[in-house]
Amino acid sequence: MVEMLPGNFVPSPARGRVLVFDSGVGGLTVAEEIRALGPVLGVHYAADSGFFPYGDKSDEALRERLPKVAKALCDRVRPDVFVIACNTASTLALQDVRAALDIPVVGTVPAIKPAAQLTRTGTIGLLATPGTIRRAYTSELIEKFAGHLRVIMHGSIELVRLAEAHARGEDIHIDRFAEAQAPLFDVPGGEKIDTIVLACTHFPLVRGQLIASAPQPVSYVDSGAAIARQTIRVLPVETEARGIGGHAYLTSHPEDEADLALVLRRYGFPELQSVALDPMDTTSAPTDP
């Protein structure tokens, strides 16, 4: 869902080609924000569908894979800016990806700073994937911007899957969303949470379901609009206007991704292409318990 735009909003005239990247469809929420801010940008999308989801993969597997995937995609698409629309990938391998590319790379980090400014009770929730929860980067953000507050965290792969299912148009009972976020509220002090950081780009897809199923009034904060603003800021001054976007790139075979293709079409990416990777790079490496 695109952040509410002010009445005096003027779209950016920026031109160029942007490639938005995620493991699945979560990054589509970021692509929407970028399109809203820069309507003449050529926005394309890439999903590492051959390694989805990232949240249950080991740090070692992701560090090895992400720079290779980013390089292969950028060699194919030739964007002016590469946007990692994934908290898990960004908090782990942002610098590695930047080292592998010669264009600006915009990462995604949990919106802890705005949540800390918004809370009135002094207790905020962090709803993320298990990978983002355990990152040192996340701990550093909390210490820097919310060290004076109580931060209750929960990592959920189930909510990622629910968001993907919702995006495919599946009818999901509201109780499943209540169960997915319940661990935030069930711990001592959880009743004081008034602000929750959606620290996975999949989660804004089901913001309405989370609001409806929360046991108390809560504001949900994500970083999509901030990512869009940063994307515009780092665009090179000299870029080519190369179409309006609409292409999507997968690391699996498009013919095997009928559900994903349906979602991508709904979000304005009707053309799917496959980007070949070395087979060894698509081997899952689950995180140790």
Average pLDDT of the segment spanning 236-244: 69
Active site residues: 86, 200
Mean of per-residue pLDDT scores for the chain: 89
Instruction: Please give the pLDDT value at position 9.
Output: 60
For the four alpha carbons of 4, 6, 28 and 170, in that order, the dihedral sign comes to: positive
Q: Provide the residue count of the chain.
A: 289
Pairwise CA distance, residues 70 & 281, whole Å: 12
Average pLDDT of the segment spanning 30-47: 93
Structure tokens at 123: 């207790």
φ/ψ of 110, rounded to 5, equals -55, 140
Question: E strands along 112-234, which residues?
Answer: 123-128, 150-155, 195-199, 219-221
Q: How many percent of the chain have pLDDT more than 70?
A: 90
> Which has the minimum average pLDDT: 35-39, 115-119, 188-192?
35-39
Pairwise CA distance, residues 88 & 138, whole Å: 10
Pairing of the two strands 150-155 and 195-199 = unpaired
Instruction: Please give the pLDDT value at position 254.
Output: 85
Whether the per-residue pLDDT at 287 is higher than 70: the answer is no
Structure tokens at 23: 């493991």
Average pLDDT of the segment spanning 69-83: 95
With H, G, I as helix, E, B as strand and everything else as coil, classify residue 234: helix
